[in-house]
Structure 1
Amino acid sequence: MLQAHSITMSISASAHIRAVLGIDAGTTSVKAMLVGGDGAVIDESEVGHPISVPRPGWAEQHPDIWWRSTTIAVRKAMQLADKNNSRIEVAAVGLGGQMHSSVFLDGDGEVIRPALLWNDVRTTPQCRQIMDTAGMDGLRSTVGNLPLEGFTAPKLLWLRQHEPQNYARLQTLLLPKDYIRYRMSGDFSTEPSDAAGTLLFDVRRRIWSEQILHALEIDEGILPPVLKSHEIAGVVSCAAAGELGIPVGTPIVGGGADNAASAVGCGITTGGVMQVSIGTSGTVLLPSSEPRIAEDMNLHTFCHAAPDMWYLMGVALSAGSALRWLRDTVAVGQSYDSLTAGAAKTPIGGNGLLFLPYLTGERTPHNDADARGVFFGLSFSHSLAHLTRAVIEGVCFALRDSLELMRQQGVSPSEMRAIGGGSRSRMWLQTIADVFGLPIATVQISGGAAYGAALLAAIGCGMFASIEEAVQACVATDKVVEPDAKAIAQYDDLYGAYRRLYPALKGEFAALANLTAGQQ
């Protein structure tokens, strides 16, 4: 069932407000956000939608669900103007959205089948095929990333092998936010930050990779043109204007993949400042002025939505979700605040308790689907508070793995900015600061990908001359949490112990997976 809620800011009656509209087509919801020329959020609305799981490990959504959520969210976001007798002039629209998920369209622009989502893991055989066909050197020199189940190219090969009748109908391959643009304008296009997540895009040259397309026998004709993230990529059609409640001809810019757009919204557009996201999963993202691709590609290297920039990114698959698991399983009925308050009273290291947060396998740096969660050092002396601290510290250690890989690539942040649910917790922020040894700040407007998409729209329509000008005018940090020197030293020792656990258990993870195969 679709559910909607909105957050509004009062404005004076009869005002004329020039604004931009940012839309984030996420996995579980679409968020629409109206942002004024001063960067203030006028109104926002979020509409939820379901995920279909036809089989274990599969995850699908019909793209029409995203469009329906978009129309409802945009109309709700525009209601503030009606309530206040005000007139909102939407100067441009920016789009953000979930990465990798595949939209298959036929020659009439109709959806062929539900989209395969980024968290769908049916494509392991296709990932092996890509590795065997393209090779490590070929991948490293072009797309810059390992073939993982979540990426788009393996999904395309799965369609060809398992649904050849649907593959024969395929004329256009789109990503989620680009499908929303197609429904808004009738135009097909994408931009570098989302294209980089397909495994078909040359991240250095910022064009579709002829080498990879040839190796995988994929016709480049199914891929859309690639425009800049702030470039106008279409205008709102008459039909879409009626559904959305915004004027015909409103420009739509290229936008950005969710991580890149979120980074723009946090002002993470140049080197030196790293974005740390603690949501269901955890990510660390650090911009770079050149594409830095590790020898074994154990970090993601993607194009940024900021012009002529790239970013390195590491992912911990279980972050906030690990704490949610603990609460729902061991601490039923307790709030997160009560859990973290108890954890804060325990000593660093939880009296010798470590946690590997691999509850659904792990992405960075191990790329190991068999890895599983571990409490190491558990004894009768440990309480729920110790377990909570161990979970939070374990997630932060997992994210530090990515920071250490970035440092090996010659890039290192001097400060961090936090987003996601964990950014509202002092316990999370202090632990991240101490484990990383860096100050961490929150931002005054934590609007995520929708806010970043709105800023890209503001650049595209001329409200700001550049991304630097937009960030300087609109993005400001809020509270800053400094690391504690004594805690840094303690965590350095504990992190060393944490890092020794995975190599010791790797073979056992695989053996246990074989023993329990078919029991899910």
Structure 2
Amino acid sequence: MYLGIDVGTGSTKAVLTDAEGTLLAQASRSHQPTMPQPGHVEFDAENVWWAEVAELSRELLEGRDAGKLRGVGISAMGPCLILTDEALTPLRPAILYGVDTRAEEQIQALNAELGEEHILRTGGSALSSQALGPKIRWVKEHEPEAFSRASRWFSGSNFLVAKLTGEYVIDQHTASQADPLHDLDAGAWIPEHCAAITEHLQMPGLVASTEVAGEVTAEAAKLTGIPAGTPVTAGTVDAWAEAFSVGARRPGDLMLMYGSTFFFVQHVARAQRRQGLWATRGVEPGTFSLAAGMATSGSIVGWFQQLTQSAMEDLSAEAAAVPPGAEGLLVLPYFAGERTPIFDPFARGTITGLTLSHGRGHILRAIYEGMACGVAQILELMAPDSGEAQRLVCVGGGVKSPLWAQIVSDVTGREQDVPEQTIGASYGDALMAAIAVGDVPAETDWTRIERRIIPDPTRADTYAALLDTYTQAYPAMRETMHRLAGRCE
């Protein structure tokens, strides 16, 4: 048996599988981040993340022969920042990935100190709210006592690996998102950058996600029910574990995740730098990827459903009855700022073109279409430059909405493969565990494609015009958005 556990923004999910990928058991726990002030998004890593990992492990192993458990794989949202003492006790709540936008001043300061071109050349990505280094600098400047007491820094997955094994390591992929601390080409820390940012903090060892990082300690075994000595992989960021789970692992393969945010992971044949995207190491040794993330997607749909106090089935039916283009409505989906491709934490959502004849179905369709235009912008940036074909595999809760997924294909003109099972990152974690302990070959893929979403060519002209309008709208409204954001802060 193989145990995979993923700590996501909205829940922690765990699965138990066999070596053929058969799902033996699964369980989850819901949770929500705290937002102590605008732009700050946090979690209690000890009493939420670690507590849920322990609880779910006990639940899945209860009544089973735990001696048959061969390995454990871990993933988590990321990159996140957790500062701990030597005893692995967090000294403040975990600061989340790009949805936490607190470190804008530190981004600008580090760009000035180190040079934007140098940061992009060495790390592969421009600094943004996704970057870890500016958040470390933010803690040093705003919470100096916590920073001075800290001895180690973690992201989400390697914190949980440390709690299970006592080992202080980080996987190469997550490290490559710890901008500007990591050299993308060399796969090593950049000493002068670490000295300027992490200062006295110890640096974790670097290993591949599909390698064993350590074994479950006796103390962790008591809390989790996992037998002491069970191998644990190095772990990784949840989106990359999910891409792994659905077989998006070859150059040109792109996973499009429909979740509370849209996330994109594309595997490439070599390390690349592209403005507006994140360049990272892949999950498997010697591999590379390009990534992108919109700040919102499903979260806007949830907001609109709550705002209208309507059943999702009714809203979807009304949106499906509205013609493409939503009869003149345009939505810019920047309800929480935006990450790729504009990297603007002060962007704001807009609904433009409203008349008294528009209803809630028009607005929901325009929301879907606006998000699809954002997807189209990013896919254009991700177009392969090395000759390989680009294959899209779509996952996430949004794929269950036929209308939303079809609109994305219609706006982008791209086909999307839908896997038979989209269990999520925890399923990829279990597969990585099976590979790490040598029970299955490294190329093993548990995925089967169920269907393919085909673009409707009759809508191409309408959506080409909409995308053109969408592209022009943000530059035209940027100054107004920023003025309004200033009033809100």
Mapping 1:391-470, distance limit 5 Å: 391-407=367-383, 414-466=390-442, 468=443, 470=444
SS at match of 1:442: strand
Q: Structure 1 residues 50, 390: closer, same or farther in 2, change over 3 A?
A: closer
**Could you tell me how far 1:357 is from its partner in structure 2?**
0.8
Partner deviation per Cα, 1:228-278 (whole Å, 9 max, x = no partner): 111111001111112111211100111221111111011111123321111
Partner deviation per Cα, 1:436-467 (whole Å, 9 max, x = no partner): 2121122122122111111111100112221x
SS at match of 1:173: strand
1:22 alignment partner in structure 2: 4
Mapping 1:291-330, distance limit 5 Å: 291-294=271-274, 297-329=275-307
Q: Structure 1 residues 358, 413: closer, same or farther in 2, change over 3 A?
A: farther
Matching of residue 156 in structure 1 with residue 139 in structure 2: no
After alignment, is 48-57 or 125-134 more displaced?
48-57
**Could you tell me how far 1:353 is from its partner in structure 2?**
1.6
The number of equivalent residue pairs is 486
C-alpha contact (below 8 Å) 1:170/1:222 kept by paired residues = no
C-alpha contact (below 8 Å) 2:66/2:226 kept by paired residues = no
Measured in 2, the distance between the counterparts of 1:311 and 1:363 equals: 17
SS at match of 2:383: helix
Q: Structure 1 residues 375, 148: closer, same or farther in 2, change over 3 A?
A: same
Matching of residue 188 in structure 1 with residue 168 in structure 2: yes
Measured in 2, the distance between the counterparts of 1:319 and 1:359 equals: 9
Query: What stretches of structure 1 move > 6 A for 4+ residues in a row?
Result: none
Letter in 2 for 1:417: V
TM-score (norm 2): 0.95
Partner deviation per Cα, 1:150-201 (whole Å, 9 max, x = no partner): 4321121122222222222222111111111111111111111111121111
Matching of residue 106 in structure 1 with residue 85 in structure 2: yes
Structure 2, gaps ≥5 residues long: none
Mapping 1:3-402, distance limit 5 Å: 19-65=1-47, 66-79=49-62, 81-82=63-64, 89-118=68-97, 119-199=99-179, 200-214=181-195, 216-219=196-199, 222-294=202-274, 297-329=275-307, 331-332=308-309, 334-402=310-378
Letter in 1 for 2:11: S
TM-score (norm 1): 0.89
**Could you tell me how far 1:432 is from its partner in structure 2?**
1.3
Measured in 1, the distance between the counterparts of 2:363 and 2:386 equals: 35
C-alpha contact (below 8 Å) 2:244/2:428 kept by paired residues = yes
Measured in 2, the distance between the counterparts of 1:411 and 1:280 equals: 32
Letter in 2 for 1:275: M
C-alpha contact (below 8 Å) 2:411/2:463 kept by paired residues = yes
C-alpha contact (below 8 Å) 2:420/2:447 kept by paired residues = yes
Q: Structure 1 residues 29, 411: closer, same or farther in 2, change over 3 A?
A: farther
CA RMSD of the aligned region, Å? 1.9
**Could you tell me how far 1:219 is from its partner in structure 2?**
3.8
**Could you tell me how far 1:410 is from its partner in structure 2?**
5.7
Structure 1, gaps ≥5 residues long: 1-18
Measured in 1, the distance between the counterparts of 2:66 and 2:228 equals: 16
Q: Structure 1 residues 286, 507: closer, same or farther in 2, change over 3 A?
A: same
Letter in 1 for 2:59: K
Letter in 1 for 2:361: A
SS at match of 2:27: strand
Letter in 1 for 2:451: K
Measured in 2, the distance between the counterparts of 1:109 and 1:278 equals: 34
Measured in 1, the distance between the counterparts of 2:411 and 2:349 equals: 20
Measured in 2, the distance between the counterparts of 1:481 and 1:408 equals: 21
Partner deviation per Cα, 1:29-64 (whole Å, 9 max, x = no partner): 321111111111111111233433333322222321
Q: Structure 1 residues 488, 273: closer, same or farther in 2, change over 3 A?
A: farther
Q: Structure 1 residues 391, 125: closer, same or farther in 2, change over 3 A?
A: same
C-alpha contact (below 8 Å) 1:274/1:417 kept by paired residues = yes
SS at match of 1:141: helix
SS at match of 1:311: strand
Measured in 2, the distance between the counterparts of 1:33 and 1:309 equals: 26
Measured in 2, the distance between the counterparts of 1:52 and 1:496 equals: 37
C-alpha contact (below 8 Å) 1:75/1:245 kept by paired residues = yes
Partner deviation per Cα, 1:75-97 (whole Å, 9 max, x = no partner): 11223x44xxx666110011101
